[in-house]
């Protein structure tokens, strides 16, 4: 009786073990690639699935997006600058059968490909391009890695260069270059502003000169602005017609008249002196005669 009892117990345990091996639960984010006697028979899941124990082999593959931080890679750029770069890789499995059959350990293969491609792409770019056109390099990296992993049933969604580390001496050189560029732009902007101001001033002067009384109004506006400020400046407004009056006076004629006036005054003084001398001589002669 006892041996029969142990036989039933052993049979029940064997059935439980076989059922546990035959019944599998696949999560929603997973798929089960099934091999029967070493031959691929398809993908199963998600949910409850049944396989033949010992004969069938189930390989679980996750369909969730995998995020991998690519380690720091030391690279020499095209213009012979040594720098260190790292990146982040986002990929997911879209064909579980290819990911299991076409490549051994698809995760390791993908990250090794990402590291190699990162060094290759960065090495083909200049330092300025690496710093200013990072989006272009990201797209190039994503395209190359995605095309290479497509036979493995893997879709690379994004590749982003995270950080670029350059030597300290090169950082100082870049800072000096940026400062010189900013100074150049400042000088250009200032020169362009002066040019525009000169054009506007010329237009304003032309308008004021054509309108009668325009310069007078502008003078009064300037006087009000000066009086509003706390300064020790003394402002003497003059009529604008005074300038027109001066422009109509012939300066050469004024100089000639002044010279003629001075010469006539000198001649008149000489004549007075000669008359005085003659009168003095006559008086002296009369005194001598009287003696």
pLDDT by residue (tens digit) across 104-128? 999 999 999 999 999 999 999 988 8
* Residues 77 and 127: beta-carbon distance below 8 Å: yes
Tokens of 283: 């008086």
The owner of tokens 């300066």 is 251
Q: In this predicted structure, what is the pLDDT of residue 12?
A: 79
Options 1.20.1250.20, 3.30.420.40, 3.30.479.30, 3.20.20.140; CATH for 66-166 is: 3.30.479.30
Residue 144 has a CB neighbour count (10 Å cut-off) of: 19
Read off the pLDDT of residues 22-41 as tens digits, 9 standing for 90 and up: 888 999 999 999 999 989 99
List C-alpha distances in Å: 242 to 224, 237, 249: 21, 11, 11
47: phi > 0 → left, psi -120 to 50 → alpha, else beta; which? left
Sequence length of the chain is 291
Q: In this predicted structure, what is the pLDDT of residue 87?
A: 93
d(CA 11, CA 14): 5
* Residues 87 and 139: beta-carbon distance below 8 Å: no
Q: Sign of dihedral through CA atoms 206, 208, 209, 211?
A: positive
Tokens of 284: 């002296």
Residue 49 has a CB neighbour count (10 Å cut-off) of: 16
Residues of the chain short of pLDDT 70, as ranges, are 1-6, 208, 211-217, 220, 223, 225-260, 262-291
Beta bridge partners of 31: 61
Beta bridge partners of 32: 44, 60
199 half-sphere exposure, CB direction, 13 A CA radius: 5
Residue 132 has a CB neighbour count (10 Å cut-off) of: 10
Read off the pLDDT of residues 45-65 as tens digits, 9 standing for 90 and up: 899 998 988 899 999 999 999
d(CA 122, CA 128): 11
- For 57, list phi and psi in degrees, rounded to 5: -130, 130
């Amino acid at each position: 009786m006892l041996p029969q009892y142990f036989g039933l117990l052993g049979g029940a345990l064997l059935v439980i073990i076989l059922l546990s091996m035959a019944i599998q639960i696949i999560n929603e984010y997973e798929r089960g690639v099934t091999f029967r006697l070493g031959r691929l028979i398809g993908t199963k899941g998600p949910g409850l699935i049944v396989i033949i124990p010992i004969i069938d082999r189930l390989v679980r593959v996750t369909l969730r997006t995998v995020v991998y931080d690519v380690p720091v890679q030391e690279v020499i750029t095209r213009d012979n600058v040594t720098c260190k770069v790292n990146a982040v890789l986002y990929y997911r499995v879209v064909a579980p059968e290819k990911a299991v059959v076409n490549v051994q350990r698809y995760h390791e293969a993908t990250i090794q490909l990402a590291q190699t491609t990162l060094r290759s792409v960065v090495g083909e770019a200049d330092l300025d391009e690496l710093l200013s056109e990072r989006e272009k390099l990201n797209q190039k990296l994503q395209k190359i890695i995605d095309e290479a992993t497509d036979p493995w049933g893997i879709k690379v969604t994004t590749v982003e260069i995270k950080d670029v580390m350059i030597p300290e001496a090169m950082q100082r050189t870049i800072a000096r270059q940026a400062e010189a560029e900013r100074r150049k732009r400042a000088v250009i902007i200032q020169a362009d502003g002066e040019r525009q101001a000169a054009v506007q001033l010329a237009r304003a002067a032309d308008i004021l000169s054509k309108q009668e009384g325009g310069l007078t109004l502008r003078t009064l506006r300037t006087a009000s602005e000066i009086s509003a400020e706390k300064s020790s400046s003394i402002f003497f407004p003059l009529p604008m017609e005074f300038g027109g009056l001066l422009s109509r006076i012939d300066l050469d004629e004024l100089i000639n008249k002044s010279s003629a006036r001075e010469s006539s005054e000198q001649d008149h003084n000489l004549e007075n002196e000669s008359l005085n001398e003659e009168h003095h001589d006559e008086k002296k002669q009369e005194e001598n005669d009287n003696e």
